[in-house]
Every structure is written in C-alpha cells, then in structure tokens.
Structure 1
Amino acid sequence: MMVGLGVSIGTVNTVRAVAYGGGKHGPGHRGRRGHCPPETWRTTLTFDSTGTARVGRIPKHGRAITDFADLTQRSAPTARVGHRALSAADLVATVAATVLTDVRELTDVREPESGVTVTHPAGYPPQRVDDLREALDAAGLEQAVLAAEPVAAAAWLEDACGPMMPGLALVYDLGGSGLRVTLVRVGAGCPTDPVVGESLRSSDFGGRAFGAQMARRSGWRSGDGSNAASDAVITELRTKHVRKSLGMVYKCLRVADVTMADVDCVLVIGGAARPPEVVDVLAAALARPIIVAPDPEHTVAEGAAILARRSVEGETGTTGHRRGWWRGGPARLGRVGAGRLFGRRAVRVTATAAIAATAALCATTAVAGDATIPAADACVAHPCR
C-alpha cells in the first residue's frame, strides 16, 4: 500500500493530508481503518517539562509560541527550550514532525511504502529553503520533499479535475495572514520550475486584515445604530475587500508579461477563501473559470500528499520497496531527544524540493480535451460570466 503524506504549515493553521495509492485522497477515501480526512491544528507550539512538543495548544498558564511559520520575517520568532536555542526553521520542522507521528495509527500500516511532502511559500529565497531543509533533516524527516505551496495546489488541481491542456493557472491563496497570487504552468510539458514571473504577497488582505477592518468599524460590536454589522453589511465589506485585492492579480500578470486572456483557470485556496463572495467577485472580474475545493484550506496539504504519493510510485513502481520515511518519535527536547532532534544537522540534500515535486507532477500530466471538467465530488467550478 502506497501512502503519500502532505503537511502545509501556515502562519495561522497547519493541515496534514493523506493520499493513498490507487485511489483518490481526501474525505471521500477510506483507508484500512476507515475515514481519514485532512486534519487541522493551530500553528502554535508548546513544550512540556520533558521537552516534548505539542501543536495547537493555547495553555491557560505559560506561553505558546506563535507566528513563526514565515521564515522571511525580519525578526523571525525563536525559542529556547532547556539549553537549546531553536530558530524559526527548527520550530516549523518540529511542527511537521509532531503532526506526522500518529500517521501509522491512522493508516494501520506498520511499514507503508510512503513519502512525505512539506510545503513552503513560493516566495522563499534559496537560503530560507536550505534552512528549512536542514531543520527537517535534523528532525528525522530526511526523506521529506519540500515543495512550493502553489506547486502543491496545482497537483491537487490536476488530480481532482482531470488531465489538463498545457496552459496557465492563477493560484489565488487567501489565507488568515495574507494573500499570495502566483501564476503556475500546468499540463503536459511544464518545466521543472512551473512558477511564472513572481509570486506576490500582501498582508493587506486575508482573514486578519478583514477582521481588523471590521474591528475599526464604529458600532459593529454593540449592534447599535445604522453601522451594526449585519450579514448584509459583512457581505458588502467582504466584497469590497476582495475587489481591492484584484490589484494584486493584475500586478502579478504584468510582472509575468501576460494578460488574463492567457490564463486558463483561477484556483482559489486558503482558509479565508471559504465565503462565497470571494469566488463571486473573482468570477465576475476575471472572466475565467474559478475552481475551489469544498474546503480550500486543505488544498495545499492534499496536493502535497499527492506529490508525495507520486514520488513513491515513481521510485518503486507498483511493487518495489522503499525505506520508511520516519525514524523518530514525538518531537522531544529532553536530554536524550535533544541531541538527535536538534544536534548536528545532517548533510543537505543536493536536489531541491521544488524540482523533485514538480518533476513528479509533470511526469504524470497528460493532454486532455479543450476544456477542464472538474469532478463533481472533488471541486466546484464557478463558470465565467
């Protein structure tokens, strides 16, 4: 049984997904032990007295480590556990290792032929990718592949909606901490680095930005007066919020020297993309098919799991053997575990994650008909109007 494991570690939430060989991934798939949908945690870390890391907890007493997932911050959060100083990359690797420890129990497979993909933002410079690579190696995830988030999202698109004609997909990632817009080549013959132009990000849009906008609105908390935040008011404000974000889309197109006419579809992902106003505004303004998963927050992790499964299929064929991906247990920084987890870092893997992940995607992409027809149970296509 081949299993692909995908982990997406965002500023606000962390998602883990599983993709099984020979079948679809996601909520509709049942493994040996039954239902195994994607799981979500808050991206927070706490350490107990033994140095064991726990993800997603907000303790009543003590401090949870937060806002460390973006390695490009000028003053990225760090932590000290015992006598160890942990960088932001170490914290991200700890999250990945922690949320993967119970996968064997979920799949009921002791030694599965499995692969792991951990995603990162498309805008990471090579040095940040190297830092994350070294941290994952030190955390016992040497075989984990790194992939850019829009590349993983494109893998989900091809898997859920069928083989695609060669072309461009615009990935509109509206998350809790911001908006990232990226152009990605899809279909047969795409290059090893499918990102076209520059991936652009802004913290002016997304869940936190919209929440701050609502908080500044006079009288909305009390519900008194004409400024009370009724559903209609919230819908209107969110619509305006998304319309303002279109400037990011057009800037991304200009940087890549293309127009919207060159784009085949728009893939909407991210936890803040759930409200229907997001898809409605984009469909009306961009005049392109809009594709969104039932829960767009899971798209990147599910795509990462698909890439991981494909990498295993590429290495083993259908019956070959592959060494297990995990050599450790729960992330721990005690006297025994500290040396193994955050001691001398392993030698860097020579092949970059983006190349490995996109190669797996391109190798399995085929030519389809004149249109992309999404599977009804996998995604929702909003036709252009």
Structure 2
Amino acid sequence: MAFGVGLSIGTVNTVCATAADRSGKNPPGRRGAPPPTTWRTTLTFDSSGTARVGRIPRHGRVITDFADLGQRGAPMARVGHRALSAADLVATVCYSVLTEVLGKAPTGPSANPETAIAVTHPASYSEALVADLRTALDHVGLNEASLVAEPIAAAAWLAAERGPLTPGLALVYDLGGSGLNVTLLRVGMGAPTNPIVGMSLHSADFGGRAFGEAVAKQMRRGAGTAVVPRGLSDADSGELRSAHVRRSLALVYKCLRIADVTMADVDRILVVGGAARPPEVAQVLAKELARPVVVGPDPERTIADGAAIVARQAVLAQESGSHRHHSLTGLFRRVTRVAAL
C-alpha cells in the first residue's frame, strides 16, 4: 500500500497529514488510536537530550519562533554539547512528529519502503536555506524525505481535490500566523517541474500576528473613552480583518507585475494558511480580485495534505517503474527462452 506523509512546519503550528490508497487506515507499522495531526511548533529537551514537540512547560526552557529560517537572528539552541541551528530545530520537529505518527523511528532498517515523506518549506527560501534544511534532515536520518515548496504542495491538493485542472495560472494566497506568502504558478497538464512563475513574495505585515497587533491598537484607541470596551464586536472584528486583507492586495499586485501578467490571466485563487479561516479573507479576495476563490475545509491543513499527496504519488511512481522493469525483464527472459528452443 502506497502511503505518503506530509509535514508543514509553521511558526505557530506544525501539521502532519497522511495519504493512502485506502482511507481510514493507520500508518504502516502503527496500531491503536490514530496519532494527533497538529502540534504547537515548540521544542523542549529533557535531561537526556530527548526532544518533545508541542509542550509549553510551566518551568524550564521552551524554544519557539525558529520555523522561519529566513528571519534575521534565527534562534539557536544548545543541548548538552550540541549547538543546534534553526534548521536543526526544524529537522528535530520533523523526526519527533514522524516518530509519533508512524509509531516508530522513521529511519533505519525498519523504515517501510512503501512510505514516503515530504517536508514543505516557503517558496521564498533561497537555495542556501533549502540546502541548510536538506543537510539538517540528513543529519537526523531523514535522507529519503523530499523537500517541497509550500505552494507546489498546495497545488497538489488542488489537483487532487478539483482536478484534473485545465492548464493555466493559479495564485496561492498563504496567510499564516507570522506572515503572508503570495505565489503564482502554472497548474494543469503541461505544467513544468518548477511551476512557479516570477517570484514568491513574503511579508510579515499581514497574518495572524499582524492582525492581532491591529486589534490591540484598536483597543488602545478605545481605552481613552469613558467606557473601556472588553473586546471588539464581531462586526468590528470582521471589518478590521477585511481592511487587513485589502491592504495585502498590494503584495498580490506586486507578484503579478514581477511575473508580467494581470489578474485577468489568473484562473483561480487558492487560499491556505491558519489565519485564512475567517470567511472575510476569501470574501474580500473574491470581491476585489474578481476571480474564483478555492478554500479547503481547513486552510491550515491544505499544504500538509498536498505534501502527503506528493509523497504518495512518489511511491506509486516508484512502484510503477519497478513493475515496468520486472515486466520488461520477464518479457526478455521469455523471448530468450523461445529463441533458444
């Protein structure tokens, strides 16, 4: 059974998804209740140096805000005699989560050949950052794990969910906790191996944290009145979020200009990311950009789901190639036997 595991390591949450030929099955080698699918992107280390993901202890040090390798002054950690870079911390999260999901270490002789792993990363990463992440994954034994750009994984989900897609352009609007990533890529039959058109753009001015700061600023403005409001109403919060998304359109138009296309050339908009759950996000994009908007049931899971699909497809392709090899070998043997007779 071909089984794919996809990992999306965000600043706030880590999401793991699986894709199999037969739904409702546990990962190969695992028994019992299904494992969790979402963790807080935090790391703690016990006295033996064993990592724990997703815990925030009352006492002791917890490591956070390391998932974005492109940020300035990315955090490092010292565990025993080891100095761990941000890429090492991300690789540690991958190893720990995979061990929990698969029910065993994802490396070594016990690794299942029918299971493939795909780890996503922002498309805005430089080649050097991708190489750092590759080295860190290899160091923890995840040599076979593939690296997939986040918008490409999202497009894989779109093709599986809505496919087969007609050839064209899709705009991936990834609104996460720490920022916004906008990427234009080709989808459908004939799409190149690297389907990204122009340049993937990132901005920390939008997203969950930025919106939280905007809400706090609005609350401080109201603090000067005679009655201090306890919180924003749903209407005020929705209006504030809509304005937040409208301001982000400048990044969308910049992405289009770099690719030398217009919004009329875009066939659809795919909205992903944990901060894209509120309905105002898709509503504003559909109204202002006048293009069809696609949002998954849980936008935070879309990238991980797509990565799992990519991993499963890799197993199927390998199996198909192996079957073709055996078929050709058998045919050659039969022809040789007949010729000998």
Compute the TM-score of the two structures, normalised by the length of structure 2. Answer: 0.87
Counterpart of 2:66 in 1: which secondary structure? Answer: coil
**Contact kept in structure 2, 1:239 and 1:277, CA below 8 Å:** yes
Q: Partner residue of 1:261?
A: 264
Percent identity reads 63
Q: 1:38 to 1:175 in 2, by over 3 A?
A: farther
Structure (1 or 2) with the greater helix fraction: 2
* Residue 228 to residue 301, structure 1, CA distance change in 2 (3 Å): closer
Shift of the 160–220 alpha-carbon distance from structure 1 to 2, 3 Å rule, reads farther
Corresponding letter in the other structure for 2:255: C
The CA deviation at 1:11 is 1.1
1:298 equivalent to 2:301? Answer: yes
**Cα deviation code 1:203-223 (max 9, x no counterpart):** 111100010111112266899
Question: Separation in 2 of the partners of 1:206 and 1:242?
Answer: 9
Contact 2:36-2:101 within 8 A present in 1 as well: no
SS in 2 for 1:68: coil
Question: 2:70 touches 2:129 (CA, 8 Å); kept in 1?
Answer: yes
Amino acid at match of 1:51: G
Q: Deviation at 1:306? A: 0.4
Q: Give the corresponding residue for 1:62.
A: 60
Task: Determine whether 1:251 maps to 2:254.
Answer: yes
Q: Cα–Cα, structure 1 residues 297 and 255, in superposed 2: closer, same or farther, change >3 Å?
A: same
Please tell me the residue identity of whatever aligns with 2:182.
Answer: V
In structure 2, what is the equivalent of residue 17 of structure 1? 17
**Cα distance in structure 2, aligned partners of 1:253 and 1:316:** 39
1:62-141 paired onto structure 2 within 5 Å: 62-105=60-103, 111=112, 113-141=114-142
> How many angstroms apart in 1 are the aligned matches of 2:10 and 2:184?
20
Q: Look up the equivalent residue of 1:229 and give its one-letter code.
A: L
Provide the C-alpha distance between the structure 2 equivalents of 1:179 and 1:259, rounded to a whole number of angstroms: 20
1:182 aligns with 2:176: no
Gaps of 5+ in 1: 24-28, 321-385
1:310 match? 313
Q: SS in structure 2 opposite 1:264?
A: strand
Residue 279 (structure 1) aligns with: 282
Q: Equivalent residue for 2:328?
A: none
Q: Which letter does structure 1 place at the counterpart of 2:49?
A: G
Q: 1:228 to 1:136 in 2, by over 3 A?
A: closer
- TM-fit CA distance, 1:71: 1.0
Distance 1:38 1:163 in 2: 31
| Paired residue secondary structure (1:316) | helix
**1:31 is paired with a residue of what secondary structure?**
coil
Does the residue aligned with 1:118 lie in a helix, a strand or coil? Answer: strand
**In 1, Cα distance between equivalents of 2:32 and 2:222:** 44
Residue 338 of structure 1 is matched in structure 2 by none
Amino acid in structure 1 at the alignment position of 2:71: Q
Tell me which residue corresponds to 2:330.
none
Deviations 1:45-83 (A, max 9, x none): 000011100111111011111111111122111000000
Higher RCO (Cα < 8 Å, 6 or more apart): 1
How far apart, CA to CA, are the structure 1 residues paired with 2:32 and 2:243?
43
Q: State the AA in 2 paired with 1:252.
A: C
Identify if the C-alpha distance between structure 1 residues 111 and 144 changes in structure 2 by more than 3 Å, giving closer, same or farther: closer
**Partners of 1:174 and 1:247 in 2: how far apart?**
14
Indicate which of 16, 20, 24 corresponds to 1:30: 24
Alignment check: 8 A CA contact 2:118 2:147 kept: yes
Q: Distance in 2 between matches of 1:143 and 1:111?
A: 11
Give the alignment's TM-score, normalised by structure 1: 0.77
For 1:319 and 1:38, the matched residues in 2 are separated by 33
- Between the aligned partners of 2:16 and 2:246, the Cα distance in structure 1 is 31
Counterpart for residue 376 of structure 1: none
Q: How far apart, CA to CA, are the structure 1 residues paired with 2:318 and 2:200? A: 30
Secondary structure of residue in 1 paired with 2:99: coil
Matches within 5 A, 1:139-158: 139-158=140-159
Q: Deviations over 1:329-378 (max 9, x none)?
A: xxxxxxxxxxxxxxxxxxxxxxxxxxxxxxxxxxxxxxxxxxxxxxxxxx
Query: What is the RMSD computed on CA atoms of the aligned residues?
Result: 2.3
Cα distance in 1 for partners of 2:100, 2:2 equals 17
Q: Which residue of 2 aligns with 1:172?
A: 173
Tell me, in whole angstroms, the C-alpha distance in 1 between the residues paired with 2:8 and 2:204.
19
Structure 2, unmatched stretches of 5+, are: 105-109, 324-341
Q: Give the conservation status (yes or no) of the 8 Å contact 1:264–1:289.
A: yes
Quick one: distance in 2 between partners of 1:135 and 1:209? 30
Query: Relative to 1, partners in 2 of residues 1:233 and 1:97: Cα closer, same or farther, differing over 3 Å?
Result: same
Aligned-pair CA distance for 1:4: 0.1
CA distance in 2, matches of 1:38, 1:267: 26
